Amino acid sequence: MLKTAFRTLAIATVMSATTVTAFAANPKVGGAAMYENKNIVENAVNSKDHTTLVAAVKAAGLVDTLQGKGPFTVFAPTNEAFAALPKGTVETLLKPENKAQLTKVLTCHVVAISAMSTAIEKMIKDDKGTHDVKTVGGCILKAKESMGKITLTDEMGGVSNVTIADVKQSNGVIHVVDKVLLPKM
């Protein structure tokens, strides 16, 4: 009888842990709720920390792409990340005559798969500490993991930290990063 009670308790514990995991809410981003049934653009426009990214996506003409079926993994730089670029960089990139360069920078933040942090960490481990991530823009990012945090090194040697991971979207996943990832220019 006691053995059956323990078995029932163990099964109930596993089931409740599974239920909590399966229905865990997305983290808030920029003070806004992120909804799994909305796409990347529909969620990003609500984040007060991503207004520069949203403006850049609009200027580059990438809204339709990022609202598309996907799947996509987007490493989403914050407003602070854009502000850390040399003075005048963002303003210059947002000019219509620089659309190709802006598009290159932005697409170096997008991967054509949906990769949660656990999958990225496994790829890093399988590749003995550094995993090459090929982006839609043709950039190669170097993913590493240290003390439970994922970092990305861009083609210019800049290192960005994933500050909020695994924000599920209807067409992929967003990982918030603290630096703009730059392609070789």
Please count the structural domains in the chain.
1
pTM of the shown model: 0.85
Residue 4 lies in a domain: no
Q: How far is CA 103 from CA 64, 107, 180, in A?
A: 13, 6, 13
* Cα–Cα distance, 151 to 178 (Å, whole number): 10
Residue 43 lies in a domain: yes
Range of the domain at 89: 27-177
Q: Give the chain's mean pLDDT.
A: 87
- Over the stretch 142-162, which tens digit does the pLDDT of each residue have? 999 988 899 999 999 999 999
Residue 183 lies in a domain: no
**So what's the pLDDT on residue 177?**
97
Residue 8 lies in a domain: no
Residue 168 lies in a domain: yes
**So what's the pLDDT on residue 10?**
37
Q: According to the per-residue pLDDT averaged within each range, which of 3-7, 27-31, 94-98 is highest?
A: 94-98
Residue 94 pLDDT > 50, yes or no?
Answer: yes
Mean pLDDT of 107-125: 95
